[in-house]
Amino acid sequence: MQTVIHVGLSGHATAFLLDEDGYGSLRRYFERARAGLARDPDRDEILRDLEQSIGEKLAVLPHAGGQVLAGREVDSVLAQVGTVDPGNGNGQARHAPSMRPRRFCRIEQGQWISGVCAGLAMRSGLRVGWVRAIFVLAAIFTSGLMVLAYLALVLALPVLQTRDEYEDMCRLSP
Amino acid sequence: MDAGKSGALRKGLLEFVVLAVVSSGRAYAADILQRLGDTEFATREGTLYPLLSRMRRERLLDYEWQESDSGPPRKYYRLTPNGRRQLAAFRTYWKSLTRLIDELGTPPCKP
């Protein structure tokens, strides 16, 4: 037995008859569109416009009048309408903050010696106390080799004044 | 030309192309899509509707509902005075850009 689903689309007085596949495709299309337009202030209006267009295209299919539309017919109409591209509609989406790669720096705010550990703590998300403890232990177990590594880091890493500066750099730098 | 680069350029220009299409008179979304259909700027509803809606928020376009013989009422878009100014400014800018690119391509005059 075939399942038939009656679907009402914005602006269209008569319901469309879809089989399960067709209904599934349509529902997934609108779920994706709704998610894509989540930041768009006119989301609901755009979704209604899309419903109306999809309805107009379904209505002119060869046997739309009263017959059940199959999944592939719905898919072909959805392909004509195209995936929703929120980037063009919503300026915010294009500038949405994204996770930037974090960098190694020395940070002078709260430094003990030169801020290497403070920088590594910011980079790794560990507490600065732990990072210092690891350095001290590593310096003991490597009989001073870690001290050389520390000095190399002092010379190699760029310096920032504050932790806020570090956060800004992560947010703004490409 | 590299498809990716020209694609990015077209995407940025689409807004102005839509302004130009709508400037010729009232246009329904399907008219705009059809007019652009066989050009470089062919696009689809999924892209056009979010764009039209942003342009309306920016008061470049406005629409009015009109009954249709074949189906539900349609939104007919037209330019606002602001949209007209934007289009005129864009045309001037575009001409100056093409002139600049032509000039940059030719060697400077020899003495």
Phi-psi map region of A21: left, alpha, beta (phi>0 left; psi -120 to 50 alpha): alpha
Q: Are B75 and B56 within 8 A, CB to CB?
A: no
- Whether the CB of B47 is below 8 Å from some CB of chain A: the reply is yes
- Which residues in chain B touch residue A13, judged by CB atoms under 8 angstroms apart? 72
Summarize the confidence of residues B85-109 as an average pLDDT.
Answer: 90
Question: And the tokens for A118?
Answer: 């403070």
> Which percentage of chain A shows pLDDT scores above 90?
29
Summarize the confidence of residues A106-110 as an average pLDDT.
Answer: 85
* DSSP code of residue B70: S
Burial class (CB in 10 A: 0-12, 13-18, 19+), B5: exposed
The pLDDT confidence band at residue A100, using thresholds 50, 70 and 90, is low
- B11, B45, B57: residue with CB nearest A81: B45
Q: Are A154 and A99 within 8 A, CB to CB?
A: no
- For position A171, what pLDDT does the model report? 62
- Which residues in chain A touch residue B73, judged by CB atoms under 8 angstroms apart? 11
The pLDDT confidence band at residue A142, using thresholds 50, 70 and 90, is confident
- For position B42, what pLDDT does the model report? 93
Whether residue A93 has pLDDT greater than 80: no
CA B107 to chain CA centroid, Å, is 33
The interface predicted TM-score (ipTM) is 0.84
A70: which residues sit within 8 A by CB, 6+ positions away?
A19, A21, A22
